[in-house]
Amino acid sequence: MSNIHPSAVIEAGAQIDPTAKVGPFCLVGPDVVLHADVELKSHVVVTGNTDVGEGTVIFAFAVIGEIPQDLKFKGEASRLVIGKRNRIREHVTMNCGTEGGGGVTQIGDDCLFMAGCHIAHDAVIGNRVIVVNSVAVAGHCIIEDDVIIGGLSGIHQFVRIGKGAIIGAVTMVTNDVIPYGLVQGPRGDLDGLNLVGLKRRGVARGDITALRAAFQMLAQGEGTFQDRAMRLGEETESAYVREIVDFVTADTGRHFLTPK
């Protein structure tokens, strides 16, 4: 294949589309699938049972599909599935899943993973997610669509981050984050809504007003956080507010970051 540099090591069994490009000194393991227009820049390791979607570009020294950093992992079969048109920058690591977490680490489409970030076993990453430099996403996390995670932040295992939320830089997130939430500070305080992101996506003024009113009710209403969310669900007509209500009332057993 003319698109594979002669210094690259392609192990027997690897499936590489004729339009994919494999740069110098890359290693592609025997159970790897590279779809159309995938590009490995140079010195990239893609191993394990890993499927890399169409148009994804992986930059130098990334290690994709290695075994989990989990002492409970005993070599069981597991996978890493990466969607389309992702940009995976230098020194990024993404691990396959574990038997205890469902066996699959899943990456959506059109995401940007900046240099040095880590996506751990059994994480599920949505579409159009931006993970900034040196972020660590722990095992079993769920990061929904359009989330931005600021640099040097850490996401605790099993945490869910709702659609459209933004996490400030140097933040440790230990509890679930509501959709469109704004979280910042060393221990991850819920400080408001991601209004900038909502406006950039063209969300109607009426929906933004409804979201702001909903946030105030969640912050200052009577009863528990879940009680307030359930009352909000009975009153709202906004589809955006309904996303928050459904997120909070889902039975996951996890705790939420609540407004200060």
- From the number of C-beta atoms within 10 Å of its C-beta (0-12, 13-18, 19+), residue 204 rates as exposed
Which candidate in 109, 122, 146, 176 is catalytic? 122
Of 1, 41, 40, nearest to 18 (Cα)?
Answer: 1
Give bridge partners of residue 163 from the DSSP assignment: none
- From the number of C-beta atoms within 10 Å of its C-beta (0-12, 13-18, 19+), residue 47 rates as buried
Q: How far apart are the first and last CA of the chain?
A: 58
- From the number of C-beta atoms within 10 Å of its C-beta (0-12, 13-18, 19+), residue 74 rates as exposed
Is 121 a catalytic site residue?
yes
Which candidate in 48, 53, 116, 139 is catalytic? 139
Which candidate in 35, 43, 121, 156 is catalytic? 121
Angle at CA of residue 99, ends 93 and 100, nearest 5°: 95
Beta strands across the sheet bearing 63-66: 9-10, 27-28, 45-46, 63-66, 93-95, 118-119, 136-137, 154-155, 172-173
CA distance 202 to 88: 27
Is 207 a catalytic site residue?
no
Question: Using an 8 Å Cβ cutoff, are 214 and 232 in contact?
Answer: yes
Is 122 a catalytic site residue?
yes
Q: Which DSSP symbol is given to 259? A: B
Q: Residues with catalytic annotation?
A: 121-122, 139
